[in-house]
Chain A
Amino acid sequence: MDNWVITMMLGASIFLGAIALFAFLWAIKNGQFDDEEKFLNAAKYDGVDELNDAVKQEQKREKLKKDYRPE
């Protein structure tokens, strides 16, 4: 077996592993695991309504920012 095969395989697996690790770190930082109950309930309840709700909430935040706090 050529050395480059080992290099490539090691490199690819460490790279892929690192991506998964960063995704996990990002989720921890964002507080996605802070409330273990809710985190599990999200799977049960979250649907189209919740997504719409989240988008509306985001729009409201932007609107209020523009309305009252012109930058």
Chain B
Amino acid sequence: MSNSVVCNHCHLEFDKSVMIVEENIKFSTEAPEQSKGKLYFCCNGCQGVYHLLSDEGLDSFYDKAKGVTLAPPTKQYEDSANFNSPAFYERFVKINKDGFHEVSLIIEGIHCSACVWLNEKALHKMDGVIEANINFTNNKARIIWSDEVLKLSAIIDMIRAIGYNAYPYDASMQEAHANKERKEYYLRMAVAIFASMNIMWIAVAQYAGYFSGITQEVKTILNIAEGILATPVLFYSGWVFFRGAYYGVKNRVVNMDLPVATGASLTYIYSIYITVSQSGEAYFDSVSMIITFVLIGKFLEILSKKNAADTLDIVGKHIPNVVNILKGPSIVSCKIADVVVGDIVVVASGEKLLFDGEIIKGEGSFDESNLTGESEPIYKKTGDSVVSGTTSIDADVQYRTTKDFEHSTLSNLVQLLESAINKKPRIEKIANRLSEYFSAVILGFSVITFFAWWLWPHSFEISFMVAISVIVIACPCALALATPVATLVGLSLGAKRGVLFKEAAQLETMAKADMLILDKTGTLTVGKPEVVKEHINSVFDVNALYSLVKSSKHPVAKGILTYLEQKHEHFENLLFDEYKQLSSLGISALYENFEILGGNYKLMQNNGITSDVSSDNTLFYVAVNKKVVAVYELQDKIKENAKEIINSFKKKNIDVVMLTGDNESTAQKVAIAIGLEHFYSHQTPQEKADYVSKMHEEGKTVVMVGDGVNDILALARADIGIVMGSGSDIAVEVSDIVLLNDSLKSLEDAFKISRTTYFLIKQNLGISLLYNAITIPLAMAGYVIPLVAAISMSVSSLLVVGNSMRIRYKWNKN
């Protein structure tokens, strides 16, 4: 029978013997079966949080968070008093118009909506907190409090006490501005769509009346109703075009806004004249349709604008505010900006290095994958140099800084990233450029038509009506729809196949791409060592090996753990009498009379153990009482279908290159296995990015695929950056396309979808231009009656929409 129980706070399952047990004083007769009078906790942290919540009357959290496992609150945090410093207040805290303080935080550890509820409740219960609003989607919180009653540090302490963590982010102008702009468009679109839909109903009556007969009075009533609905569309929703046109004229540029604004307002004025004079046909429906469609097109552009502010927030998250430095005999925490060259920084295992320096005490393994992409941990000892941005896996070291933070590799990387985001090359959008010329040309035609008719000679009224009809029939609907509809269908098709395009314009850029650069680890390979072979010398207890590797964070140990979990169903977690992680060697443990060793060959040699198993792959030896009982071979596997997919790219005339931070022999092995001729090894992040720039200079449109922090510079600089969904946060942020299922098949799909979509966009533009080429001369000749205008307008839009839907059909045929 299983002897494990679930922790009352975090809901993780552990053996009963390791749990903290206490009597439930709140044990009630109402639910005796549930509580059984005992509480179990996996650690002091969980116990503390549980009691805090129950004292505060917030224990209904556990009902809300049923079935959700939480992270035990065991982390040690920097002193929260830092949050009270004037420098911090100046940078992150705002004072609102009521005189209350306001801060924006990112809350770490939110898993579910119950977590949001708990945080908000706990903060609301604090005296002095006026408002706490947490956005579940992006975990960002806005907190308003009265600084006379309590300080910010108390709020942070509360969040930490209930098992979460908070760090500030600069709710900078940029992000606030982007949100405001988006909201403004929502409002304008809501009005435009509402009015257009209603105008269309009324227009149906108008058109029906045109055939079956309609009295002038009824016609005037319908015109007035349409006029009332069209007014807010033109002046409220269409305001952006007037504004754009005004700035365009001021800077002497004919932009797309000018023809839209003049066309719509001329039609509007003409329609008012018709309504008042009670003769002819009014075109209020055209006014609102033009504005609505063009506004939707514009909104789609706004929506897809990348939010650089968000990216930089996440970069900031990875840089702590303080480090521990050695001052004389004692260790003090010090702000990173105050650390000078020559200071001695103390690093514990699991911490990130923020400065470049040289180790003066201690040794251990470091994870440099952030910088080099090298998947294997690197062993460093006293005298070796360390680079900022690497993480200590198991090393407790002291190092002397050789550069201050501002000049460190890490902060260099961040600066390069900031500039790369802004410098990203963009291929101009065909459709926009076309509509720009198109709009100017139509306006010109309309003016020519007016004067031609007037001087013919005709009355001012007739000449004006014909000129207006040119603008109306050349309704940019089809043109405005050509790109967004095809794009939307392409995007949704991508989303279904696990390819997320972050920006619509990327479909076009991607379709034109002629160069593909691939990272190795995590992109072409799985990125995690897997057991490929097992040599068992003698029978041993699997539970011992399981317990041995379970607590280690080393990728090899994790690989073994995964392998064991796949092979066996049940494990018993042994409690070792002694357990030691040996830097860059492995793990040793004592259990009853057995000495268990697990690690590399060097560990075996150090203990006088020999083994005759050898291989090119990474080897993990297991020895019990100085005798090797098992050897595991591990390898970073190449992803499925890699070879076929690389071949298919080559057939499409796309140059494929692999860039990796790994060594030559590993790179070569992978390149041969997937049939790749061009590859570069030992690449630093900067070199990868430089390679992308070099290819740009050669006129290539570059797609870069990567997953790690070491790829972000190259990802940001490439025309299209594609990241694997399991990649690091920053990499996901700077990239343009995310492959959710990490497979290379999705990469192939991304290319196919973008090429098909781009082809259809061009076709759509062709259709709408052809339509205009036929109808505009007719309108100029004065042959266009309202019926033709109405039908042709809808038909052209339908043609474009229908054509876009073909993407799906085309896709299925492929």
Q: Which residues of A contact B (CB under 8 A)?
A: 3, 6-7, 10-11, 13-14, 17, 21, 24-25, 28-29, 34-38, 41, 44-45, 53, 56-57, 60-61, 64-65, 68-69
B124 interface neighbour in A14, A21, A41, A57, Cβ under 8 Å: A57
Are A10 and B225 neighbours in the complex by a CB distance under 8 Å? yes
In the complex the two chains form, what is the Cα distance from A38 to B146 in whole Å? Answer: 26
Contact flag A3-B225 (CB < 8 Å), given A10-B202, A65-B98, A69-B99: no
Within B92-114, the residues touching A (CB, 8 Å) are 98-100, 113
Identify which of B146, B191, B225, B229 contacts A64 (C-beta below 8 A). Answer: B146
Tell me if B183 and A45 are in contact (CB < 8 A).
no
- In the complex where A29-B183, A64-B146, A68-B146 touch, is A24 in contact with B190 (Cβ < 8 A)? yes
Report chain A residues within 8 Å CB of B218: 3, 6
Interface string of B123-145 (1 = CB under 8 A from A): 01001111100111100000000
Complex Cα–Cα for A21 and B217 (A): 29
> B225 — nearest CB in chain A belongs to which residue?
A10
17 A-B pairs whose Cβ atoms sit less than 8 Å apart in the complex: A3-B217, A6-B221, A10-B202, A14-B198, A14-B225, A14-B228, A25-B191, A38-B113, A38-B136, A41-B113, A41-B116, A60-B127, A60-B129, A61-B130, A64-B128, A64-B149, A68-B148
The B interface, classified by DSSP as helix, strand, loop or mixed, is helix
Q: How far is the CB of A6 from chain B (nearest CB, A)?
A: 6
Most B C-beta atoms less than 10 A away, residue of A6, A17, A29, A64: A64
Q: Which residues of A contact B217 (CB under 8 A)?
A: 3
Expressed in whole angstroms, the minimum distance between the Cβ of A18 and any Cβ of chain B is 8
Closest CB of chain A to B229's CB: distance in Å? Answer: 7
Compute how far the CA of A16 lies from the CA of B648 in the bound complex, rounded to whole angstroms.
Answer: 58
C-alpha spacing A64/B131, complex, angstroms: 12
Asked whether B694 is an interface residue with its Cβ less than 8 Å from the other chain, the reply is no
Report the minimal beta-carbon distance from B516 to chain A, rounded to whole angstroms.
Answer: 35
Interface size on B, residues (CB 8 A): 36
| Residues of B with C-beta under 8 A to A45 | 64, 113, 117
Chain A residues within an 8 Å CB radius of B497: none
CB distance from A49 to the nearest CB of B (A): 8
Does B186 count as interface, using CB distance less than 8 angstroms?
Answer: yes
In the complex, what distance in Å separates the CA atom of A37 from the CA atom of B148?
34
Closest to A20 in B: B194
- Of chain A, the residue at the smallest CB distance from B127 is A60
- Give the distance in Å from the alpha carbon of A60 to the alpha carbon of B130 in the complex: 7
Cα–Cα distance between A65 and B127 once the two chains are bound (Å): 13
Given contacts A24-B190, A64-B130, 14 further A-B contacts (CB under 8 A): A6-B222, A11-B225, A13-B198, A14-B198, A14-B228, A17-B198, A21-B191, A28-B187, A34-B135, A45-B117, A53-B121, A57-B130, A65-B98, A68-B146
Chain A min CB distance to B365 (Å)? 40
Asked if B113 and A37 sit within 8 Å, CB to CB, the answer is yes
- Set of chain A residues within 8 Å of B191, measured between Cβ atoms: 21, 25
CB distance from B299 to the nearest CB of A (A): 14
CB-nearest residue of chain B to A21: B194
Nearest CB in chain A: distance from B295 CB, A: 15
Which residues of chain A come closer than 8 Å to B128, judged between CB atoms?
A: 64
